[in-house]
A and B are shown apart, each in its own frame.
Chain A
Amino acid sequence: MNIAGLAFRSLARNPFRTILTMLGIVIGTAAVILLVSLGMGARHLVLDSINNLGPNLLIVIPGSVTDSGAQVGGGTDTTLTLDDARAIREGCPSVLEDSAALRTAGQVLSGAANWSTVILGTESTYLAVRNWELSRGAFFTRKDVTSMSRVAILGRKVARRLFGFADPVGRWVQINHSPFRVIGILSPKGQSPMGMDQDDMVVVPITTLQTQIMGVTYVGVILANAISTDGIETAKQEISRLLRIRHHIFPGGRPDFSVNPMSDITRTANRLSLILTVLLAAIASISLLVGGIGIMNIMLVSVRERTREIGIRMAIGARPGDIVTQFLVESAVLSFLGGLTGILLGAGGISLFRELAGWPAPFPVGFMFLALLFSGGIGVVFGLYPAIMASRLDPMVALRYE
């Protein structure tokens, strides 16, 4: 046993009090660990769903409509056309491929079954741009687009709803009362970053959608793939320059479109989810602080209870530093053990979320070490005042304390 050993022994002497004192730190640490892990999981989910759109993707959307002075929000204007899409494809060397897209709500019928879903009009390059595949059949060709063919690709959910487990390829469906032949089924993709179920839609040639279903000439969005990750910025500039010329926007004028690289969106989402995680951790740290105050409280009580012991130790030669060490080690051990227990508890909570909720919460090992150091530090910080108080007692007064 040494001076640090004295600390363990006095903690072991009052096990119930020790556990109660530790509880504040235990809960605080567990909460911090768990929330940080869940936050990291959320971040992972968001980034994952953004990245499955394709890391080199740029999204060109029309500018906002100004309605009686009120801006209605980006993407509401009708200034983008199929010709813009073709011009980008042909005039921007940093763009590998692009595809215009337009969507509307629609009713799909097959025999007695019907389903309300999204009708997406695109060009033949859509799958390549979106980095997507078919699970069955074939996608429509460029010729289908120019000839406005009535062919449709079904999302998996739509196929299930209308045909059950039967193969829909080659069958006919009615989309808004027009017959379309099913030529393919999309592979399942899950939710888009904006929360839309990408398996719940029907894809048709964009020209067919424009003329036969919606009666419009604009497109909703142009998705472009840069040739490489390094080429994203160049591609953005090329597209901007090209569209400014095509849309007769003079230098300095406000463009009626915007080009949004996915990498920017990723960065923003990344930053937002990081802020969220830090915020959660900060809130949880408050409980750590409360735990620290609990330790300080108990240490003050302990110093008072053991005043005579402190006097005896001083009389037999303990220096002020020895007394500080004894009490400081005691509070540091309290909070360190509390931190350790909290981390185990937090890790248990993380496993529970992984197993039961399927949440991709990682075990933040580095952060756990940090939390352990932090909780130990809390013990030192909050134990310092009681320890110094103990070391400054007058030995004569302490020896006579009842």
Chain B
Amino acid sequence: MDDLHGKGVNVELKNVSRLFQIGGETFQALADVTLSVPAGEHWSLVGASGSGKSTLLYMMGLLERPSSGEVWIDGQRTDTLKTGERALIRNRRIGFVFQNFQLIPRTTSLENVEMPLLYQKVPFRERQERAKVLLSQVGLSDRENHFPSQLSGGQQQRVAIARALVTSPGIVLADEPTGNLDTASSKDILELLEHLRTIHRFTLILVTHDPLVASRAQRQIRLSDGRIVGGEL
């Protein structure tokens, strides 16, 4: 359990572009983006909707492949890897937190949290133990056997955060993690993420359109039309 207190992992994009074909027209979601997020830092990505901030986030999370350019995770080039190898990197080094939580329905909190470990073939008992540790760290020890439908939005997002962290990833990517929450819950979630970062030391990259949320990061990157237009690099 050494890497439970890992150091975070750096992410590097070199001249990354991403084109989409929509109804015969080509749309450029990312245009020649180059950036390097040092290990352990907390960055935020801001911009209007359609500016490419989400595409950039999922590019770093290996859920998108660049049309051109390179994506490096912890010194390893990933854009040329096979789907299965990219899945392995997602599984071991990256945790996702989504705006709409993306928990598997009719599956308990505990089972949702241990799911990533299932794909690492971690034995049942160890999976349970580690998932319980994470659930207690997000303050949901008493909700282990609740289904997502029995939890509030804030609680569901806590479960999602526990799931993102159960594999001790070097990077956590959060896409509008407070977008579906009320002000109080939003504050809780952000504070929870920051608190967990002091324990787990992951690199945190967070997409938001809320200036208050963005301002808590060490660095803000502003995107417009798929290009970086602000934020010192």
Chain A nearest Cβ from B64, distance in angstroms: 6
Interface residue B83 (Cβ < 8 Å from any Cβ of A): yes
A311-324 interface mask toward B, CB cutoff 8 Å, 1 = contact, 0 = none? 11111111111100
10 contacts across the A-B interface (CB closer than 8 A) = A2-B118, A309-B105, A312-B102, A313-B115, A314-B87, A315-B61, A315-B63, A317-B92, A319-B88, A399-B102
With beta carbons under 8 angstroms apart, the residue of A1, A308, A315 that contacts B90 is A315
Chain A nearest Cβ from B121, distance in angstroms: 8
Give Cα A2–Cα B120 distance, bound, in whole angstroms: 10
A1-20 interface mask toward B, CB cutoff 8 Å, 1 = contact, 0 = none? 11100000000010000000
Q: Is B64 a contact partner of A396 (Cβ separation < 8 A)?
A: yes
Give Cα A337–Cα B84 distance, bound, in whole angstroms: 31
Interface residue A395 (Cβ < 8 Å from any Cβ of B): yes
| Across-interface contacts of B87 in A (CB, < 8 A) | 314, 317-320, 322
A296-338 interface mask toward B, CB cutoff 8 Å, 1 = contact, 0 = none? 0000000000001101111111111110000000000000000
| Across-interface contacts of A317 in B (CB, < 8 A) | 87-88, 90-92, 116, 119-120, 167
Interface residue B104 (Cβ < 8 Å from any Cβ of A): yes
| Across-interface contacts of B105 in A (CB, < 8 A) | 309
Given contacts A3-B118, A318-B87, 13 further A-B contacts (CB under 8 A): A1-B118, A3-B119, A313-B104, A313-B115, A315-B90, A316-B91, A316-B116, A316-B119, A317-B91, A318-B119, A319-B83, A319-B87, A319-B119
B87-124 interface mask toward A, CB cutoff 8 Å, 1 = contact, 0 = none? 11011100010100011111000010001101111001
Residue of B nearest to A2 (CB): B118
With beta carbons under 8 angstroms apart, the residue of B64, B96, B124 that contacts A316 is B96
Residue of B nearest to A400 (CB): B100
CB-CB nearest 9 A-B residue pairs: A317-B91, A319-B84, A319-B87, A316-B116, A317-B119, A317-B90, A312-B102, A395-B63, A318-B119
| Across-interface contacts of A312 in B (CB, < 8 A) | 102-104
Residue of A nearest to B102 (CB): A312
Q: Is A308 a contact partner of B83 (Cβ separation < 8 A)?
A: no
B55-85 interface mask toward A, CB cutoff 8 Å, 1 = contact, 0 = none? 0001001011000000000000000000110
**How many A-B contacts at CB < 8 Å in the complex?**
63
Interface residue B130 (Cβ < 8 Å from any Cβ of A): no
User: Which interface class (under 10, 10 to 19, 20 to 34, 35 or more) fits B?
Assistant: 20 to 34
Give Cα A312–Cα B91 distance, bound, in whole angstroms: 12
Chain A nearest Cβ from B209, distance in angstroms: 18
Give Cα A1–Cα B106 distance, bound, in whole angstroms: 16
With beta carbons under 8 angstroms apart, the residue of B102, B104, B121, B124 that contacts A1 is B124
Give Cα A309–Cα B84 distance, bound, in whole angstroms: 18
Residue of B nearest to A323 (CB): B87
Chain B nearest Cβ from A263, distance in angstroms: 61
Chain B nearest Cβ from A234, distance in angstroms: 70
Chain B nearest Cβ from A311, distance in angstroms: 8
Give Cα A313–Cα B105 distance, bound, in whole angstroms: 12
Interface residue B53 (Cβ < 8 Å from any Cβ of A): no
Chain B nearest Cβ from A5, distance in angstroms: 9
Give Cα A158–Cα B180 distance, bound, in whole angstroms: 96
| Across-interface contacts of B92 in A (CB, < 8 A) | 317
Give Cα A1–Cα B105 distance, bound, in whole angstroms: 17
Chain A nearest Cβ from B200, distance in angstroms: 17
B153-181 at interface with A (beta carbon < 8 Å): 163, 167
Q: Is A320 a contact partner of B163 (Cβ separation < 8 A)?
A: no
Give Cα A308–Cα B105 distance, bound, in whole angstroms: 10
Give Cα A316–Cα B124 distance, bound, in whole angstroms: 18
- A2-B118, A313-B115, A319-B84 known; A308 and B102 CB under 8 Å? yes
Give Cα A311–Cα B104 distance, bound, in whole angstroms: 10
Residue of A nearest to B85 (CB): A319
| Across-interface contacts of B111 in A (CB, < 8 A) | 1
Chain A nearest Cβ from B110, distance in angstroms: 11
Q: Is B104 a contact partner of A309 (Cβ separation < 8 A)?
A: yes
Give Cα A312–Cα B116 distance, bound, in whole angstroms: 10
| Across-interface contacts of B106 in A (CB, < 8 A) | 13
Chain A nearest Cβ from B98, distance in angstroms: 7
| Across-interface contacts of A396 in B (CB, < 8 A) | 58, 63-64
Give Cα A396–Cα B175 distance, bound, in whole angstroms: 13
Chain B nearest Cβ from A10, distance in angstroms: 9
